Structure 1
Amino acid sequence: MKSILKYSFAGLLAWSCYSCSKLEETPYSSIYTENFYKTSEDAEAGLAAVYSKLADLYAGPSPLLVADFSADQIYPRPVVGRDTYTLFSFDPQYSAVVSFSRTNECPIDIWNNSYSGIENANWILQKVPATVMANTTRKQQILGEAYFLRAFFHWMLTKTFGDVVIRTKASQTLTDAYMPKSPQADVYKQIFSDLDSAELYLPDYSNTLVKGRPCKQAVQALHAKAALYAANYQLALQQAEKVITAGSGTGLMDNYADVFDVAKEDVARKENLWAFESESVAGGRTSQIMSLYGPANSTAPAYGNSSYGSAFVFMSFYMSFDPKDKRRALMDTTYTNKQGVKVPQASITPITTKGVLMRKYADPNSIGNAHASNIPLLRVADVYLVAAEAEARQNGATGKAYTYINAIRTRAGLDPLATGLDKDAFIAAVLQERSWELFGEGDRWYDLSRTDTYMQVVPKAVNDVFPARVPQKRNKYFPIPQSEVNANNLLQQNPDWK
């Protein structure tokens, strides 16, 4: 991520410059930008400001914690308000979290950083077309990346909050900031439009691309997944099959564990089409997610040199895996401490004797709690399962649908899925496969909410720390931060949260 963010301070000046006089604030961002975006360096700095909001988003990282602590795979040590998601006890004020200064682990963080990223992308799309750049190919790529990132941020918002404000123009006056929500269907139309534009401008996957930059196949992967969420199954399948048949060098890694091996992240980009590129070097951006999953007090070097023991896998989820499933190997019921002694899971404290550790984000060479483990955002394996579900929802459990899901099962060391399933049973099998394949990647809650199964599934994920969990109908989407509703007279709270 360092190579992307090296201009971030200059880029941030382009949109955040302001001055105060007495009690009145006069924004100068629109004036400043008239003298900015004149050169290629300006354009790169502006784009870095967009990426900086992605880094801010995943540093917390609210997209993973808010979603995973709400679902049936992962649970937190109940401190600093994290249990409000597991217990569905939050409100539009998110006061339980804010009072502990944990807004970086809160839907407020998703809202703020996503809209800041959209604002920065809008300046790029408004100003860069007129910027003089000798490298016209790079100019097109900058525009393509801005379209892609704007689509991603809108998708993050709508899958989290439902109907949200669509922003496609930079704010040049204070009144530009006040806009009403749009129906979710319109949000998806905008996302699809932006991704169509991004696909025109961005190159195919290549191992020479700057890490963290989206390629054409990443655009198609996001297009497929967003279309699945929008229940546009024909579009989802069409875009997913573009990725699967790309012939650009992208594809599944042979070994599942290699997808998350910090030492193999370069070759793993063939599957990790787009990721938060965490860096442990000075000046890089990292994420606290890597430290949350290891045992407390940095007792297990294999996890990293600093870990908190703050997040665990439900034992019931661990036991749902076939013992021969290779994916289960990225969870531990024992660990080896610094003295080389194997410690059984019953000794994992202070949470529960039934805690299971998760190793997807381990980095044995971390510098303190600064890890270099990437967080996958768009994976080829995900695309295969999108294709399987989209095909089944349109045409039932066809041979093509089986081919896509079995590609994932085969790599995991499992037998092919039993044939003869009806449509509903096959779709249920795909959703279960998604749970096993993508656990801990901030995905499961959105699968449960988009399929309206969270009220049936989540109450079954309990233990002695959280013996009862009762999500309500209103929990399908998170409430819009009340501070935003109070500040914008045109913005209405989600109906179920009023």
Structure 2
Amino acid sequence: MNKILYIGLYGIMLAGLLSGCRKLEETPYSSIFMEQFYKTPADAEAAINGVYGDMAGIYSGPSALLVPDFSADQVYPRPVVGRNTLTLFIYDPEYSVQSSFDRIAESPLNIWQRSYAGIEKANWVLEKVPAIVMSEARKKEILGEAFFLRAFFHWTLQKNFGEIPVKISPSKSLEEAYVGKSSKAEIYKQIYADLDSAVTNLNTYTAAGTVKGRPAKEAANALYAKAALYNEDWSTALQKAKLVLGSGKYSLLSDVFDIYDVNKEDAARQENIWAFEAERVSPGNSSSLLSLYGPASSAGPAYGKSTFGSIFAYPAFYNSFDPGDKRRAQLMSTSYINKNGAVVPQNKITPITPNAVLVNKYMDANSIGSSTSVNIPVLRLADVYLIAAEAENRLNGPAGAYQYLNAVHKRATGVDVAAGLSQTAFTDAVIQERSWELFAEGDRWYDLTRTGKFLTVIPAAVNDVYPARSIQAKHRYFPIPQLEINANPKLEQNPDWK
């Protein structure tokens, strides 16, 4: 699948550019390749694996986490090599600083390019696989996976860029690659349609029968619930969340640390509905989170074999936890043990500030260099409980929503949330619970932008490394990459970025 020339939605243009004097009206090479490719069951498997490859491309970098997390109020980067552009909101439509090879994997540009590459490949799967002679059961499942992934990519693009082109057919000509933006309502209509098809085609989850990293029917409903939440479609969000919670397939782990324990990943699937499955071996996809979150000069067995001290948590976020909250132990604010077994005090963790707080979610004592096997949750049951809590409250008030919020809060604290909250206060409590539960998982920024809280929360999320952060209304969505606008005459920049 790596022969495909698509880089972004309009990477198809490269076929013409690389041909020198040939006219742009030609059929792209990638289209010719695809037309000749889909013949056997092995081709179908390779094709759907290619779609997963682009999902891996935004998690291994990992732009899917760092782009939103650097923008939010939980963690911050060491300000080096342009890594602070997201935290300080000094990026531009060119993504000029982040376009270098070593920064593109942490850029919105990577999210755009990888998502549209995945959509293009999914479109070819959905067009060509139905005609392949193969197991009908496996064919149905492959189609379900393609529908699921296409919905996931469109949702990923919408929450990052706002109105974006919806692409539901493969590009067989340059003209077909030129697509204008769709409204938010149109984008979610397509996401819903794809997830309806995914639910129809995918098998229900079984521990023995579901391949690691592949979505089951319940994962499609979980994504449906979360997409509907972002669409402020509270009734659909609640309905789909209830289907997941009532399926009997998942339960919350008793110890929240087990979700990220590399030695317990099979047991963690009790809660992890769908995750990026990282592998420290080659061939396989890994993640750079361990190396970025671990302290500089390698922490040894406590963190992994090679760590650089590139990301830390804001002290104010650490202090927001109740001391009795078990999740606070996923942050370390005092000291750590280095590779020689010595205790390193807080003020020696990093040279940039004596107030650094380490994040402990992505440790792997047996990492191969910086390559880790710690899985990154994308959809997990605690998230679904909190989706149900927010949706129920927004529809009907807090009375019936406490049960969902308390399922998550009580696991961490041992007590229920105080009763008697107003509807507005309960929504705020859910958003705060999401911050504590899902931190460093690429979720918080979107909670702030979808609720409009980003304009008040971000200016207060400062420390001695970033004493001021100037955010504007236009930063709700990232600018559409200028290179895509230059390539596509039908594509317009987001209004606030013109």
Q: Secondary structure at the match of 1:335?
A: strand
Measure the CA separation in 2 of the matches of 1:366 and 1:99: 27
Structure 1 residue 415: Cα displacement: 1.6
Structure 1 residue 124: Cα displacement: 0.4
> Conserved in 2, the CA contact under 8 Å of 1:91 and 1:479?
yes
Alignment correspondent of 2:167? 167
Indicate whether 1:454 and 2:454 are aligned: yes
TM-score, length basis structure 2: 0.95
Cα displacement string for residues 187-243 of structure 1 (whole angstroms, at most 9, x for unaligned residues):
011001100000011111111211000011111110000000000000000000001
Alignment correspondent of 1:43? 44
Letter paired with 2:415:
D
Measure the CA separation in 1 of the matches of 2:373 and 2:275: 12
Letter paired with 1:39:
T
Letter paired with 2:454:
Y
> Conserved in 2, the CA contact under 8 Å of 1:166 and 1:181?
yes
Q: Where does 1:431-442 land on structure 2 (aligned, <5 Å)?
A: 431-442=431-442
Q: Secondary structure at the match of 1:67?
A: helix
Alignment correspondent of 2:259? 259
> Conserved in 2, the CA contact under 8 Å of 1:80 and 1:100?
no
Letter paired with 2:56:
A
Change (3 A) 1:130 1:435: same
> Conserved in 1, the CA contact under 8 Å of 2:300 and 2:340?
no
Q: Where does 1:341-356 land on structure 2 (aligned, <5 Å)?
A: 341-356=342-357
Alignment correspondent of 2:111? 110
Alignment correspondent of 1:416? 416
Cα displacement string for residues 237-259 of structure 1 (whole angstroms, at most 9, x for unaligned residues):
000000101023x1211111101
Measure the CA separation in 1 of the matches of 2:378 and 2:53: 16
Letter paired with 1:28:
Y
Alignment correspondent of 1:5? none
Q: Secondary structure at the match of 2:124?
A: helix
Measure the CA separation in 1 of the matches of 2:201 and 2:76: 41
> Conserved in 2, the CA contact under 8 Å of 1:294 and 1:300?
no
Alignment correspondent of 2:491? 491
Cα displacement string for residues 44-66 of structure 1 (whole angstroms, at most 9, x for unaligned residues):
01101101111111121111111
Cα displacement string for residues 442-482 of structure 1 (whole angstroms, at most 9, x for unaligned residues):
00000000000001111111110000112100011010011
1:23 to 21, 24, 36: 21
> Conserved in 2, the CA contact under 8 Å of 1:10 and 1:45?
no
Q: Secondary structure at the match of 2:76?
A: strand
Letter paired with 1:454:
F
> Conserved in 2, the CA contact under 8 Å of 1:385 and 1:430?
yes
Alignment correspondent of 2:383? 382
Alignment correspondent of 1:479? 479
Measure the CA separation in 2 of the matches of 1:88 and 1:18: 34
> Conserved in 1, the CA contact under 8 Å of 2:74 and 2:317?
yes
> Conserved in 2, the CA contact under 8 Å of 1:203 and 1:216?
yes
Alignment correspondent of 1:302? 302
The percent of aligned pairs where both chains have the same amino acid is 56
Alignment correspondent of 1:358? 359
Structure 1 residue 37: Cα displacement: 1.4
Q: Secondary structure at the match of 1:343?
A: strand
Letter paired with 2:219:
A
Letter paired with 2:79:
P
Measure the CA separation in 1 of the matches of 2:442 and 2:479: 18
Cα displacement string for residues 143-168 of structure 1 (whole angstroms, at most 9, x for unaligned residues):
00000000000000000000000000
Measure the CA separation in 2 of the matches of 1:300 and 1:185: 49
Measure the CA separation in 1 of the matches of 2:256 and 2:411: 7
Structure 1 residue 321: Cα displacement: 0.3
Measure the CA separation in 1 of the matches of 2:401 and 2:166: 34
Q: Which piece of structure 1 moves more, 333-342 or 159-168?
A: 333-342
Measure the CA separation in 1 of the matches of 2:4 and 2:173: 19
Measure the CA separation in 1 of the matches of 2:15 and 2:471: 43
Indicate whether 1:120 and 2:121 are aligned: yes
Change (3 A) 1:10 1:90: closer
Q: Where does 1:75-90 land on structure 2 (aligned, <5 Å)?
A: 75-90=76-91
Structure 1 residue 12: Cα displacement: 8.4
TM-score, length basis structure 1: 0.95
> Conserved in 1, the CA contact under 8 Å of 2:4 and 2:30?
no
Question: How well do the aligned residues superpose, as a CA RMSD in angstroms?
Answer: 1.7
Q: Where does 1:310-349 land on structure 2 (aligned, <5 Å)?
A: 310-333=310-333, 334-349=335-350
Measure the CA separation in 1 of the matches of 2:459 and 2:242: 35
Question: Gapped runs of 5+ residues in structure 1?
Answer: 1-7
Structure 1 residue 96: Cα displacement: 2.1
Letter paired with 1:396:
G
Cα displacement string for residues 254-311 of structure 1 (whole angstroms, at most 9, x for unaligned residues):
1111011110011101211111100011211111122100001113421110111000
Question: Gapped runs of 5+ residues in structure 2?
Answer: none
